[in-house]
Structure 1
Amino acid sequence: MRVLVTGATGFVGGHLVPELLARGHEVVAMTRDADSYDAPAGVSVVEGDVLDPDLTLPSVDAAYYLVHSMQAGEDFEERDRRAARTFRDAVDAADIDRIVYLGGLGNEEDEDLSEHLQSRREVEHVLGDGEAALTALRAAIVIGEGSASFQIIRQLAARLPVMVTPSWVRTECQPIHVDDVVAYLVGVLETPETAGQTYEVGGPDVLTYQEILTTTAKLLLGRPPIIVPVPVLSPGLSARWLGLVTDVPVSVAKPLVDGLRNRVVVTDDSIRSIVDVDLTPFEESVRRALSESETVAERPVEA
């Protein structure tokens, strides 16, 4: 199958492209700057911007949409909306049969759903309004080297033996390893009956963010941190706090923190009977991510 991947240079897209190749698919990667993308052998590269109203897509059988605004700001929802509409219209113009989209978990009826989770849900609806059949996957935190969410978790665990944290540390989450997300993304592509359907995906473990931080610290340092939740700490203050103790910019930390108040747990696991994935336990996911992080750190810097 000939497949287009938008967001090929991102965290999930960077894992998806090689897996599609390994499964025998013909891959076309779309990026805004082809010269800056070190494409795997066998991948065709096209330049394109989902915010360009004149976006033209190549002829493919299916297209992955792995694009999200991860910056704070008053206009991020409009950017997400406009990008999704532009992409949907370009898909229709290119007569592409299917779109596969990775969005976020969260109860759609929750009036307190974070703005970024709301925006991801709106993108899902916009993409589904086109002529192509949409398959939407909804996931919580994706664990792996290169994940902004996991970068925050790892750096907090490494740098703070004692944490005064917001009450969101008690919120439940169902993290999933990046390899498992990719297995689902490829699996739905190869399963025709998933076209037009929405699925929730998650790993085998449901944990609070406190348990996630504690487990990561034990694996990283051999000891858990002392975590002291406080009842009131606004998303803005939480983001600034993360900006002080991690390398994640405040503009990225704020939308991530804003979503931590929402319980993101799978309530419908029907995909398990359709796409068979051997899910990775959380501890093993963290071990793999930490191992990958060490490998990246040890690589020599190229001139």
Structure 2
Amino acid sequence: MTSPVLVAGGTGFVGRRLVAALVEEGRSVRVMTRHPDRYDGPGTPVHGDVAAPATLAAPLRGCAAAYYLVHSLDSADFETRDARAADAFGAEAGRAGLEQLVYLGGLGRDGDDLSPHLRSRREVEARLAAGGVPVTVLRAGIVVGHGGISWEITRQLVEHLPAMVTPRWVRTRTQPIAVADVVRYLVGVLGHPDASGRVFEIGGPDVLAYAEMLERVAAIEGRRLPIVPVPLLTPGLSSYWLALVTDVDVRAGRTLVDSMVNEVVVTDPRIREVVPFAPMTYDEAVRAALREREDER
């Protein structure tokens, strides 16, 4: 593809890393933002807002593909907002004649009683595709990297608490993945003939319970973190408790905590046939996140 690639959500946790990787590959990248005058990263900033459909035609015009990395987890009505935004973006992408949309969604078995967060991610997949452009979906669980909400919850709990009082759902299994590997997959599926219109599951090599993830971070940092399960600690109470010991937004934290009841593990590894490489282990991803945080200080 020689036409520009648009990244919606290009200033976010995953998006800014993706933009840098695409530019490094020699791609012409448009970064959609509500405030292009404030943008100072790689790529070309263009004005656009998924909540204002009239602003989407200009940034999409002339593009062959677009990434959709948008969510509204910090809003009380995030499901409604995300559904409307996906409708608008998918429809405008269709009118612009794009060849591919790439969306980063969430892991979780379709037959499970999915949390509102994961259910919303599934709905966005369908609404983006309704515009007629083939959508490549990458479903991920916890993404480990400096600045990511899930990672910040993990790191700050380990660093701020002498012991961890937890509900039973910390035994739920997940398959974390390094943010650098998420970006590698996102770049790899762009324009790939075997990725068009397909759903892929992505994860690192380790399947861990949330409690094990906390214990590993503690070990890497040379800390002790005794974990005491408390069955009556509900997700609702947990989210308020998180607000006391971390600086993560309460509403976004609650949304993610609600999702921790769902097992998020890769069951279909076919992405390895399309974008073959060996992802980082959880410990490697943690060390990379800690190094990046230290480098920014």
Question: TM-score surpassing 0.5?
Answer: yes
* Paired letter, 1:65: Y
Aligned to 1:65: 68
Would you say 1:194 and 2:195 are equivalent positions? Answer: yes
Point out 4+ residue stretches in structure 1 off by more than 4 angstroms. Answer: none
Cα offset for 1:21?
1.1
CA distance in 1, matches of 2:290, 2:153: 13
Q: Secondary structure at the match of 1:109?
A: coil
* Paired letter, 1:16: L
Aligned to 2:129: 128
Give percent identity, aligned residues only. Answer: 53
| 8 Å contact kept, 1:92–1:130 | yes
Aligned to 1:39: 41
Aligned length: 292
Aligned to 1:301: none
For 1:19, which of 21, 26, 29 is the aligned residue? 21
| 8 Å contact kept, 2:142–2:176 | yes
Q: Secondary structure at the match of 1:9?
A: coil
Cα offset for 1:29?
0.6
Unaligned residue ranges in structure 2 (runs of 5+): none
Question: Deviation per CA, 1:143-200, whole angstroms, max 9, x where unpaired?
Answer: 0111011001000001112111111110101000011111110111142221010000
Q: Secondary structure at the match of 1:5?
A: strand
Unaligned residue ranges in structure 1 (runs of 5+): 298-303
| 8 Å contact kept, 1:5–1:63 | yes
RMSD of equivalent CA atoms: 1.0
- Pairs within 5 Å for 1:22-171: 22-40=24-42, 43-54=43-54, 55-56=56-57, 57-73=60-76, 75-111=77-113, 113-171=114-172
CA distance in 2, matches of 1:36, 1:141: 29
How does the TM-score come out when normalised to structure 1? Answer: 0.94
| 8 Å contact kept, 1:215–1:224 | no
Q: Secondary structure at the match of 2:15?
A: helix
Aligned to 1:300: none
Cα offset for 1:36?
2.1
| 8 Å contact kept, 1:8–1:29 | yes
- Pairs within 5 Å for 1:193-232: 193-220=194-221, 222-232=222-232
How does the TM-score come out when normalised to structure 2? Answer: 0.96
